[in-house]
C-alpha cells in the first residue's frame, strides 16, 4: 500500500468516528504512527486537548486474504483474550473499510534481549497458559493448508533446491497435521514486538494470525517448551516456524 492510498484509507476510517460507540465529542486526531509491525498500518489517536493517546487504529493489510488472515476470527479471539485482560479491547471493527479501533495500552515494549530475561519470560509463559484455557467454537488451525497456500503463490521465487526442500517438508507436514494433537488457542506471531508490558502484567497485540493451533507453538516461539512434549514434536514445530518465516518474507 503506498502512502497516498494509506492516507486516504486513514481519513475514511477517521470519518466514521461517530459509529465507534465511544464517548467522543470530536473527531480523534492522529498523534503518531507505529514503526513496529509488518502486516498492518497502526496509528495512535487522541481526542483530548492534551493529546494524550487514547486509541489505536489499525488499517488492515491489503494482503490479508493472501496471508489467510480471517478478520472475523481475529476479532472473536482478541475480544476473548481481552476479557481476561491479556489483550487490548476492540471498540470498533469494520471489515468492509478495513480497519479496527482498539484500546491503547500504556506500557513498554522490550528489545529481543530484554524480552528473554526471566522476569519478562515468566510473565509471557503465564499469559500463554492463561489464554490457552479459552474455549471457542473455531476450527483446528491447518498448518499444511496455510503454508501450502503461501508456497503456491511463490513457486516462481523458489530456487530448485528450495522447491525440493518444500516438497519434502510438506509431505511430512501433511502427515503431522492429521495426527491427533489437541488444539489450543495460539497467537502464532508471539515475539517481543507484540507484547506490551505494564507495571505488573502485559497485553498481547496483533492477533491476526491466531487460531486453535498446537499448544507448543507459542512457547517455542519465545524459546521455551513444555516438558510433556517430545523433542521430535518440538523440533518439527521449529521447522514449521522456519518455513512460515521463509515463505512470509518472500512476499
Using CA atoms, how far apart are residues 197 and 22, in angstroms rounded to an integer? 25
Q: Cell triple for residue 189? A: 506471531
Q: Is the CB of residue 77 less than 8 Å from the CB of residue 83?
A: no
Q: Cell triple for residue 169? A: 517438508
pLDDT at 91 over 90: yes
Q: Is the CB of residue 218 less than 8 Å from the CB of residue 190?
A: yes
Q: What count of residues does the chain have?
A: 251
**Spans of all domains in the chain:** 3-103, 112-248
Say which residues have a Cβ less than 8 Å from residue 102's Cβ, sequence separation at least 6. 55, 56, 57, 58, 78, 88, 89, 90, 91
Using CA atoms, how far apart are residues 60 and 170, in angstroms rounded to an integer? 29
Homologous superfamily of the 3-103 domain (CATH): Phosphorylase Kinase; domain 1 (3.30.200.20)
Percent of the chain whose pLDDT exceeds 70: 98
DSSP 8-class letter at 54: -
pLDDT at 237 over 70: yes
Using CA atoms, how far apart are residues 191 and 218, in angstroms rounded to an integer? 9
167 falls in which pLDDT band (50, 70, 90)? very high
Using CA atoms, how far apart are residues 145 and 244, in angstroms rounded to an integer? 12
pLDDT at 84 over 80: yes
Percent of the chain whose pLDDT exceeds 90: 83
Q: What pLDDT is attached to residue 1?
A: 63
pLDDT tens-digit profile of 41-65? 999 999 999 999 999 999 999 889 8
Chain mean position to CA 162: 27
pLDDT tens-digit profile of 180-217? 999 999 999 999 999 999 988 999 999 999 999 999 99
pTM of the model: 0.94
Q: What pLDDT is attached to residue 230?
A: 80
CATH topology of domain 112-248: Aminoglycoside 3'-phosphotransferase; Chain: A, domain 2 (3.90.1200)
Q: What is the mean pLDDT of the chain?
A: 94
96 falls in which pLDDT band (50, 70, 90)? very high
Amino acid at each position: 500500500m503506498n502512502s497516498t492510498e494509506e492516507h486516504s484509507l486513514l481519513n475514511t476510517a477517521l470519518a466514521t468516528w461517530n459509529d465507534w460507540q465511544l464517548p467522543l465529542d470530536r473527531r480523534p486526531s492522529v498523534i503518531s504512527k507505529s514503526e513496529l509491525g509488518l502486516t498492518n498500518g497502526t496509528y495512535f489517536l487522541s481526542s483530548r486537548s492534551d493529546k494524550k493517546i487514547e486509541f489505536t487504529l489499525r488499517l488492515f493489510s491489503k494482503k490479508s486474504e493472501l496471508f489467510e488472515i480471517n478478520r472475523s476470527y481475529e476479532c472473536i479471539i482478541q475480544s476473548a483474550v481481552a476479557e481476561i485482560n491479556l489483550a487490548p479491547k476492540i471498540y470498533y471493527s469494520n471489515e468492509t473499510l478495513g480497519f479496527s479501533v482498539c484500546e491503547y495500552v500504556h506500557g513498554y515494549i522490550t528489545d529481543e534481549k530484554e524480552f528473554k530475561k526471566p522476569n519478562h519470560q515468566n510473565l509471557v509463559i503465564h499469559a500463554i497458559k492463561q489464554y490457552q484455557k479459552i474455549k471457542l467454537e473455531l476450527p483446528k488451525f491447518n498448518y499444511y493448508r496455510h503454508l501450502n497456500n503461501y508456497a503456491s503463490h511463490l513457486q516462481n521465487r523458489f530456487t530448485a533446491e528450495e522447491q525440493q526442500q518444500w516438497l519434502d517438508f510438506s509431505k511430512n507436514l501433511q502427515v503431522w497435521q492429521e495426527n491427533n494433537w489437541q488444539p489450543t488457542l495460539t497467537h502464532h506471531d508471539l515475539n517481543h514486538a507484540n507484547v506490551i508490558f505494564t507495571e505488573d502484567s502485559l497485553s498481547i497485540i496483533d492477533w491476526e494470525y491466531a487460531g486453535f493451533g498446537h499448544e507448543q507453538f507459542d512457547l517455542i516461539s519465545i524459546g521455551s517448551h513444555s516438558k510433556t512434549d517430545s523433542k521430535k514434536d518440538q523440533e518439527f514445530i521449529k521447522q514449521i516456524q522456519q518455513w512460515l518465516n521463509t515463505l512470509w518474507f518472500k512476499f
